[in-house]
């Protein structure tokens, strides 16, 4: 068992009308993770989270991002958000439930809640940490957040092809637990992905592909589908133990 608590005093300030629309806030988030093993090689992760983070608001009437938290259909992370954002009003809930186990040269991942691409394959970024990385979500290739609303429930596998080469594959859905029409594991939106990760010495290199199908009801019986095919390259080179470059 392990846990983290974050306390943040923050403000968005400056001379523009955007900064003037926000006030200074004191926000916090707490997580408690329970790690259980049945064989010594597998892991069942159950994580509880509670917090009261709310995004800094934009000027009323000005629409900047494709979707907002209130719509629950945001397609990307907003990179003005904190990397440790939680939302909510301290309504404690299971925000992550995952079971992983080894099979041959691979690891199988079964995600029942809160599963993301970055929980299965590495993001090739030492700054990708909500507790010890960057303050904002601008800390990794945005391809891992593509189709965020279609990443929650699913499965994946990583195969260690050699000491330096790993192949990761996965399939995630946003409503995999819902038996309704245009939902479930295979009749609704999804995110399918693959990544080849190369890690020789101090170099990390990731070649990533994602295929996202997203469909949301815009009126009674009318759905608006979108399909995205995306390709990404991420790298990081450690020059010393404390200095690295990447992108």
pLDDT for the residue 141: 85
* Nearest-angstrom CA–CA distance, 98 and 60: 39
Taking residues 49-70, report their average pLDDT: 58
- Kindly tell me the burial class for residue 42, based on how many C-beta atoms sit within 10 Å of its own C-beta (0-12, 13-18, 19 or more): middle
Phi and psi for 156 in degrees, rounded to 5?
-165, 170
pLDDT for the residue 64: 38
Phi and psi for 148 in degrees, rounded to 5?
-55, -40
Place of tokens 């259980």: 36
Phi and psi for 142 in degrees, rounded to 5?
-65, -5
| pLDDT tens per residue across span 139-188 | 788 898 887 888 999 999 999 999 999 999 999 999 999 998 888 999 88
- The CB density around residue 117, as the number of other CB atoms within 10 Å, is 24
| pLDDT tens per residue across span 66-116 | 333 434 445 555 555 676 777 778 889 999 999 999 999 999 999 999 999
Instruction: Answer yes or no: is pLDDT of 229 > 80.
Output: yes
pLDDT for the residue 128: 79
Both tokens of residue 177? Answer: 């637990």
* Nearest-angstrom CA–CA distance, 224 and 217: 6
Strands (E), the chain: 2-10, 25-36, 43-51, 93-103, 106-113, 153-160, 165-173, 190-198, 203-219, 222-238, 244-246
Of all residues in the chain, what percent carry a pLDDT higher than 90?
A: 48
């Amino acid at each position: 068992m392990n846990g983290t608590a974050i306390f943040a005093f923050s403000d968005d300030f400056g001379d523009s009308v955007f900064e003037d629309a926000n006030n200074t806030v004191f926000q916090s988030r707490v997580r408690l993770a329970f790690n259980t093993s049945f064989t010594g090689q597998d892991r069942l992760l159950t994580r509880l989270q509670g917090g009261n983070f709310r995004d800094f608001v934009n000027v009323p009437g000005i629409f900047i991002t494709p979707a907002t938290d209130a719509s629950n259909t945001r397609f990307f992370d907003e990179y003005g958000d904190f990397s440790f954002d939680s939302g909510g009003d301290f309504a404690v809930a299971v925000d992550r439930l995952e079971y992983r186990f080894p099979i041959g040269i691979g690891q199988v991942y079964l995600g029942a809640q809160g599963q993301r691409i970055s929980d299965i394959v590495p993001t090739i970024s030492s700054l990708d940490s909500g507790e010890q990385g960057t303050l904002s979500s601008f800390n990794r290739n945005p391809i891992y957040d593509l189709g965020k609303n279609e990443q929650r429930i699913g499965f994946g596998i990583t195969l260690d092809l050699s000491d330096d080469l790993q192949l990761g594959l996965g399939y995630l859905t946003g409503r995999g637990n819902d038996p309704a029409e245009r939902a479930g594991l295979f009749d609704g939106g999804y995110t399918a992905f693959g990544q080849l990760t190369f890690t020789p010495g101090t170099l990390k290199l990731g070649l990533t592909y994602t295929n996202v199908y997203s469909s949301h009801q815009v009126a009674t019986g009318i759905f608006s589908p979108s399909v995205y095919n995306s390709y990404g390259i991420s790298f990081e080179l450690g020059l010393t133990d404390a200095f690295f470059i990447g992108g």
